[in-house]
Structure 1
Amino acid sequence: MPIDNSIVHQIHKKPDGQPASLSLRDAELPANEALEQLLAGLIDVYNSKPNKAWGHFHPESGAYPFSGWLQQLVDGELDFVGFSARASEQLKSLMESSNLAMGGHVLFIRYRQGMTAFLVIALLHHTEGVTVTDQLEVASARHLDLANLNMAARINLTEWKQNATAQNYISFIRGRSGKRVSDYFRDFIGCIEGSNPEEDTTTLLQAFSDYVGEAELEPDALKQKTKALSGYVSSQARQGEQVALEELSGLIDEEHPRAFFDYIRHKDYGLSPEIPPDRKTVNNFMRFYGKADGLSISFEAHLLGERVEYDEGDDALVIRHPPKALVQQLRNRKR
């Protein structure tokens, strides 16, 4: 992932209502291996976050100036240092209105992945650890705590500039359920939340179930199509990318690559051509799971009707060819 520009500033603020202050770096970070490792680690963690929201920019205004500064940066009217400084000042101001907000290092990186340009902004904190030195001494070691990243956003600059009707070119980490701590960060970006990944993925899976149900497929064909869908959607989720319905349609049926895509359009499921995926929803679709009274059962969906059958009349689950390790435990128990 080639890095075009990067810089880091620091906002000093504690969650106690006191005014914040800002320390600005006056030059871009030099390109080196450490910076590349930081970007790679940051993107890996960011992509793995399940609680992301997607959206697009508010119209530029005094309340939402970020997109205007970004436009100036893209047009060459503002350099990267100036852009990041203005953005950090805005973030500091919004932090002061949130008693729970805590300062940190604000990292800006503009990079390219293939033909697509991105801007990632993250609020980073440090954690204390230990290391063994070259002198074989145990010493304290302070390092960035990427594992607990909870304030970050990524903007698909290419999508933003090339597709005027795009609705999901911004993604950001959303606060945990019931907490509004991250609202100021969303407002700092100036993002209008658009698609709901969980709802859109649920709708997609329902459309797929309707599609294969009407086709009355053989078990092997159904298994292959289900595997193609889950593999693609899960892969896009891991990479932090959207699901392109037309591309997915081609993977599901190579002989008739537009069949599923046209089915979704004609049935009017209300899905955009590209939707943000929710990996947890896909995983739940691919597995049946239940737990109660000391009994825990989990199996892949394609096994239903093959090795697993449910008898509704007797309210019984029949499992054929159970795992050998389980069988051995049961035999040992009888001895």
Structure 2
Amino acid sequence: MSLHLSNVILHQLSKNDQDELMVNYRSESLVNDSSTENLVAELHRVFHSKAGKGFGCFQSDSEFQIWLNELQRGELNFYDFSQKCAVRLKEELAKYPFADEGILVFAEYQSLATDYLFVGILPLNQSLKVTEGLDISATDYLDINKMDIAARIDLSVYEADKESNRYLSYIKGRVGRKVADFFLDFLQAEVGLDSKQQNQVLMQALDDFCTDAKLEKQEVNEYKKQVYEYCNGQIKAGEEVEIRELSGELPPSPSGASFLEFTQEQGYGLEESFPADRGLVRKLTKYVGAGGGLNVSFDSLLLGERIFYDPETDTLTIKGTPPNLRDQLTRNR
């Protein structure tokens, strides 16, 4: 991975005897070497792979934004920037029940010609190690894969377009922890691009496009398969869905209108690009549902062929079960 590291520093969040959250400040930034580059590269990879991220932008009175601007103008050094932010983060985090201990990371770096600022809290866990004398001792390690309190600012987009609603991204975290609320409060930011809503609108626009074109079932399935393959390819490549590019992959309607022209004429309000939602994209070629001890998933092509649904009785009929399922059912009659 091509990554150029500019600055990185760690501070530690811990609780004192009164269970109050404290910050143990490192005295200076870390040296830029292979270890710190590997750390930031792993942070970048894990953050990028996290599903369901939120997007936003700074409020006009954001202190974090003021400090960031001062940092970029050279009026504030990276160490002082990290200290100011750490104080603010501690004050905000103390308001929430998930005020965890951990390692606070600030990193400024460039990856694939894009500049980023990363802020996150990494869980610090214990494990065992074998010493040179073959003894067993405890050791602490950073559980990067488990991080769910982190945000990243695309500095390149921020510099080019401060009116953008998506230069800031953050991990939404586990349900019930309100991690998203915390990070928005800490950064004094507001929700911007809703990528899941954009994906839902894309799916609706595709359904409407197929209906408007009066396509046969087989043609509809082929359209959806092409959209699935494009979106899935973008997910694997770490790229976003580009509506113009997607439209170029699809054949026009019988009237000659492209998918892009259709979405623009009908006013769907789709952004030019946005991250694909893996769960919604999957439903382009599959019917998926779970509940009440039942988990059902099948290719959409099978509906009306081997699988039939009666909405009046809410009954799903399957003709021809998978061999391994049939074997289990036969043995346990």
TM-score > 0.5 by shorter chain: yes
For 1:37 and 1:305, locate their aligned partners in 2 and report how far apart those are by CA, in whole Å.
Answer: 52
**Residue of structure 1 in register with 2:300 after alignment:** 301
For 1:37 and 1:253, locate their aligned partners in 2 and report how far apart those are by CA, in whole Å.
Answer: 44
For 1:247 and 1:202, locate their aligned partners in 2 and report how far apart those are by CA, in whole Å.
Answer: 18
Correspondence for 1:106 among 104, 107, 113 = 104
Comparing 85-94 and 142-151, the one that deviates more: 85-94
Tell me by how many angstroms 1:198 deviates.
Answer: 2.6
For 1:174 and 1:161, locate their aligned partners in 2 and report how far apart those are by CA, in whole Å.
Answer: 25
Question: Aligned letter for 1:18?
Answer: E
Question: Aligned letter for 2:266?
Answer: K
Question: Aligned letter for 1:84?
Answer: S
Indicate the SS of the match to 1:71: helix
**Residue of structure 2 in register with 1:45 after alignment:** 46
Change (3 A) 1:238 1:20: farther
Comparing 13-22 and 170-179, the one that deviates more: 13-22
Indicate the SS of the match to 1:20: strand
- Contact 1:3–1:31 (Cα < 8 Å) also in 2: no
Structure 1 residues 150-207: Cα deviation after superposition (integer angstroms, max 9, x where no partner): 2100111111222344211111122433433553322222321023333222121111
TM-score for the superposition, normalised by structure 2: 0.82
Tell me by how many angstroms 1:235 deviates.
Answer: 5.0
TM-score for the superposition, normalised by structure 1: 0.81
Taking the TM superposition and a 5 Å limit, the aligned residue runs for 1:54-203 are 54-59=55-60, 61=61, 64-98=62-96, 100-133=98-131, 136-203=134-201
RMSD: 3.4
Tell me by how many angstroms 1:306 deviates.
Answer: 3.9
Comparing 201-210 and 181-190, the one that deviates more: 181-190
For 1:173 and 1:24, locate their aligned partners in 2 and report how far apart those are by CA, in whole Å.
Answer: 25
Change (3 A) 1:4 1:224: farther
**Residue of structure 2 in register with 1:248 after alignment:** 246
**Residue of structure 2 in register with 1:326 after alignment:** 325
For 2:73 and 2:257, locate their aligned partners in 1 and report how far apart those are by CA, in whole Å.
Answer: 38
**Residue of structure 1 in register with 2:282 after alignment:** 283
**Gaps (5+ residues) in structure 2?**
none
Change (3 A) 1:291 1:167: closer
Structure 1 residues 29-80: Cα deviation after superposition (integer angstroms, max 9, x where no partner): 3220x33432343234323433421111112x3xx21122222333344333
Correspondence for 2:25 among 11, 23, 26 = 23
How many residue pairs are counted as aligned between the two chains?
Answer: 330
**Gaps (5+ residues) in structure 1?**
none
Change (3 A) 1:239 1:58: farther
- Contact 2:149–2:179 (Cα < 8 Å) also in 1: no
For 2:294 and 2:324, locate their aligned partners in 1 and report how far apart those are by CA, in whole Å.
Answer: 17
Question: Aligned letter for 1:46?
Answer: F
Question: Aligned letter for 1:45?
Answer: V
For 1:14 and 1:240, locate their aligned partners in 2 and report how far apart those are by CA, in whole Å.
Answer: 38
Question: Aligned letter for 1:227?
Answer: K
Percentage identity across aligned positions? 29
**Residue of structure 1 in register with 2:266 after alignment:** 267
